[in-house]
Amino acid sequence: MPVAVEELLSFFDEARFVPSLRARTKAGVLKELANALSNDEEIRHPDVLQEALEAREKLGSTGIGKDVAIPHSRTLSVPKLKALVARSKKGIDWGSADGKPVKLFFVVVAPPQERTNQYLPLLGALVSGMQLKPNREAVATAKNWEGVITALESAFRG
């Protein structure tokens, strides 16, 4: 059964939105993303979270091409599925298949055992939704969080 768009959007929160990343390297971005996630009171041990994201990247780049990366991991640092959106104006060398720098980051983290079992559907919706240039541009150029959520909603609805 397909996952409702509203449920997918519920995993995102304005508190987990980084409109402009400061870091310029992959390692720096992973640290910045983990720190941004750890601003959420429910997320524990940002160092463990960062290590989990780094370990996933060592398995292969989460850069899916077309300016997008979806770093993701299952970790005990999070009590439930959470997602973060971050942007980089200049782009970060991420080792993406197309060789292009990444400007849009969608981080997805979940506990090893997840009650809702929406980790993979959320990853799939992000990969699918970000294939279209208008969807990517809408997220990249959104003036505020409401614009980002509107862009994601449109991307998820197809």
Q: What is the pLDDT of residues 96-110, one digit of tens each?
A: 989 999 999 999 999
Q: Which residues contact 55 (CB under 8 A, 6 or more apart)?
A: 73
Active site residues: 72
Task: Read off the pLDDT of residues 20-35 as tens digits, 9 standing for 90 and up.
Answer: 999 999 999 999 999 9
Q: Checking DSSP bridges between strand 72-74 and strand 102-110, what pairing results, if any?
A: parallel
Q: Is the pLDDT of residue 158 over 90?
A: no
Most confident of 21-25, 42-46, 117-121: 21-25
Q: What is the pLDDT of residue 117?
A: 87
pLDDT tens for 123-140 read 999 999 999 999 999 999
- Domain ranges (residues) in the chain: 5-157
pLDDT, position 2: 65
Q: What tens digit of pLDDT does each residue of 68-99 get?
A: 999 999 999 999 999 999 999 999 999 998 99
Residue 70 to residue 64: CA distance in whole angstroms: 7
Which CATH superfamily includes the segment(s) 5-157? Mannitol-specific EII; Chain A (3.40.930.10)
Rounded to whole angstroms, how far apart are CA atoms 28 and 50? Answer: 10
| Per-residue model confidence as pLDDT tens digits over 2-19 | 679 999 999 999 999 999
Of the pLDDT bands very low, low, confident and very high (cuts 50, 70, 90), residue 114 is confident
What is the value of pTM for the model shown?
A: 0.95
